[in-house]
């Protein structure tokens, strides 16, 4: 079910703008937060930008460890996604959100980071230090070092959103816990040119 994704296809996992869950671990402490704001910046090597607010406990762990994981939740995880995006691990750092909310996890293959059970894709990443972007725009640039996906919804380098895998469709945060679901697909066609403009 979980299959390795070739790193040259890793950015396709977030190309369509899904909400991600950022997990991090350092010195025996771990945490998890939702991030609506991420985007690829390069296919090869696979690099992604993700916004991590200064108020978050996860940011502390990312800066200390130099690594983070991006987990891509699906429709079945809408409640988990909203919850870990609404509660700060800073409120009680003794109680990590995995334990508080009974969120299962497994170890990432490259870095051993805690990856969220029930998600549909996972990437372990190393921080590329960019202190100015981190400070001015809360933007962290990271490079993907391992990628996995659930082959019921992502295989051969492509997402496949179908009626028979509806619970596995990705979430796209609209605000206040409401998510758009990538529930249908459409194929664009190339238009013929009408000739030179003026």
> In the structure encoding, which two tokens stand for residue 5, read together?
């994704």
Nearest to a copy of itself of 36, 110 (CB atom): 36
CA–CA distance, 34 with 50 (Å, rounded to integer): 11
Q: Find the shortest distance in angstroms from Cβ 5 to a copy of itself.
A: 13
Q: Does residue 105 bind a copy of itself (CB under 8 A)?
A: no
For residue 189, state whether it binds a copy of itself (rule: CB under 8 A).
yes
Binding flag, residue 193, a copy of itself (CB under 8 A) = yes
Q: Return the number of the residue (63 or 180) whose C-beta is nearest a copy of itself.
A: 180
Our CB check for a copy of itself shows the closer of 109 and 140 to be: 140
Q: Could you say whether residue 18 binds a copy of itself (CB under 8 A)?
A: yes
Whether 135 contacts 40, CB under 8 Å: no
CB of 142 to a copy of itself, least distance (A): 11
Specify the 3-state DSSP secondary structure of 102. Answer: coil
Only segment of 59-67, 117-125, 144-152, 178-186 that touches a copy of itself (CB under 8 A): 178-186
Decide whether 32 or 109 has the Cβ nearer to a copy of itself. 32
Cβ–Cβ under 8 Å, residues 159 and 175: no
Sites for a copy of itself among residues 136-155 (CB under 8 A): 137-139, 141
Q: How far is the CB of 112 from a copy of itself (least distance, A)?
A: 18
| 40 scored as a contact of a copy of itself (CB under 8 A) | yes
Q: What are phi and psi of 60, to 5 degrees?
A: -55, -45
Cβ-defined contacts of 132-136 (< 8 Å, 24+): none
**Shortest distance, position 148 Cβ to a copy of itself, whole Å:** 18
Judged by CB under 8 A, the chain residues 43 through 102 that form the site for a copy of itself are 47, 49, 51, 75, 78-83, 86-87, 92, 94-96, 98-102
Q: Give 90-96 contacts, CB < 8 A, sequence gap 24+.
A: 90/55, 90/56, 90/57, 93/29, 93/57, 96/29, 96/30, 96/31, 96/32
Any idea which residue has 């409640």 for tokens? Answer: 79
Distance CA 124, CA 128 (A): 13
């Amino acid at each position: 079910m979980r299959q390795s994704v070739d790193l040259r296809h890793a950015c396709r996992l977030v190309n369509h703008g899904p909400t991600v869950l950022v997990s991090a671990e350092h010195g025996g402490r771990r945490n998890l937060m939702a991030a609506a704001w991420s985007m690829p910046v390069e296919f090869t090597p696979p690099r992604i930008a993700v916004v991590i607010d200064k108020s978050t406990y996860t940011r502390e762990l990312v800066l200390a460890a130099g690594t983070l994981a991006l987990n891509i939740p699906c429709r079945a995880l809408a409640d988990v996604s909203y919850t870990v995006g609404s509660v700060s691990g800073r409120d009680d750092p003794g109680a990590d959100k995995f334990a508080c909310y009974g969120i299962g996890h497994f170890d990432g293959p490259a870095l051993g980071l805690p990856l969220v059970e029930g998600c549909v894709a996972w990437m372990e990443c190393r921080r590329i230090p960019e202190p100015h972007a981190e400070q001015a725009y809360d933007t962290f640039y990271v490079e993907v070092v391992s990628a996995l996906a659930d082959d019921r919804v992502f295989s051969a380098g492509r997402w496949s959103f179908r009626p028979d895998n509806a619970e596995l469709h990705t979430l796209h945060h609209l605000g206040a816990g409401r998510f758009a679901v990538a529930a249908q697909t459409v194929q664009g066609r190339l238009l013929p040119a009408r000739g030179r403009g003026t």
